[in-house]
């Protein structure tokens, strides 16, 4: 199994564990509250959304992953979403490990 598939499967697991925040507004709110540790942003997100989310993530020190499309992210969590925030440090660390391999 390649790492991209592992990441998408882990996203589904994080959703079932209620450790994700979805949607632009909720993720930005979570970043401000220092609850979001890692952000998944769709490659095909709009320019305004991309700028807003990446700027906020940079300000609050959360890494941003733009490896997947809206369709791939939505399929992984079972909801149509462009932005997903990972709340739990353990999940965020596992995602980082898979992304860096």
pLDDT at 77: 95
For residues 85 and 38, is the Cβ–Cβ distance under 8 A? yes
pLDDT at 49: 94
pLDDT at 64: 95
How many CB atoms are located within 10 Å of the residue 65 CB? 18
Q: What is the DSSP pairing of strand 38-41 with strand 64-65?
A: parallel
Give counts: helices (H), strands (E), the chain: 5, 4
pLDDT at 26: 95
Low-confidence stretches of the chain (pLDDT < 70) are 1
Give CA–CA dist 53/35, Å, rounded.
15
Give CA–CA dist 94/60, Å, rounded.
20
The one-character DSSP state at 43 is: T
pLDDT at 2: 87
Q: Which residue has the tokens 């079972």?
A: 78
């Amino acid at each position: 199994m390649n790492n991209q598939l592992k990441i998408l499967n882990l996203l589904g697991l994080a959703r079932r564990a209620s450790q994700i925040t979805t949607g632009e507004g909720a993720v930005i709110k979570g970043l401000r509250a220092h609850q979001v540790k890692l952000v998944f942003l769709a490659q095909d997100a709009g320019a305004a959304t991309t700028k807003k989310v990446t700027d906020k993530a940079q300000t609050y020190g959360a890494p941003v992953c733009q490896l997947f499309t809206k369709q791939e992210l939505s399929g992984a969590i079972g909801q149509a979403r462009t932005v997903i925030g990972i709340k739990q440090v353990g999940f965020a660390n596992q995602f980082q490990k898979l992304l860096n391999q």
